[in-house]
């Protein structure tokens, strides 16, 4: 399942991050990498508010579509 299809409140582990290298590096800098736990806190104005390593970030839908979650 991809993050953009998850329901608000979903907590799971990142299986892999797809997309271009620049996007992968940015998400890695946020702590979003394989095996890391991620929680979808809310969706506001098309942005996905996620909790990674006790920090909250707003990512757009294009980034959310590139985060594959383990089911």
How does pLDDT run across 21-60, given as a tens digit for each residue?
A: 999 999 999 999 999 999 999 999 999 999 999 999 999 9
For 16-21, what is the mean pLDDT? Answer: 95
The predicted structure's pLDDT at residue 28: 95
Residue 46: give its domain's CATH number: 2.30.30.90
pLDDT grade for 71, boundaries at 50, 70 and 90 = confident
The structure's pTM equals 0.90
Tell me if 2 sits within 8 A of 62, measured CB to CB.
no
Domain extent at residue 47? 3-69
Tell me if 18 sits within 8 A of 32, measured CB to CB.
no
Task: Report d(CA 1, CA 56) in Å as an integer.
Answer: 21
For 8-25, what is the mean pLDDT? Answer: 95
Is 46 strand, coil or helix? coil
Number of folded domains that form the chain: 1
């Amino acid at each position: 399942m991809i993050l953009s299809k998850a329901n608000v409140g979903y907590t799971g582990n990142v299986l892999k991050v797809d997309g271009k290298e620049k996007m992968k590096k940015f998400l890695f800098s946020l702590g979003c990498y394989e095996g890391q736990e991620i929680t979808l806190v809310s969706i506001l104005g098309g942005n996905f508010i996620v909790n990674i390593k006790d920090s909250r970030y707003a990512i757009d839908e294009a980034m959310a579509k590139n985060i594959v979650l383990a089911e």
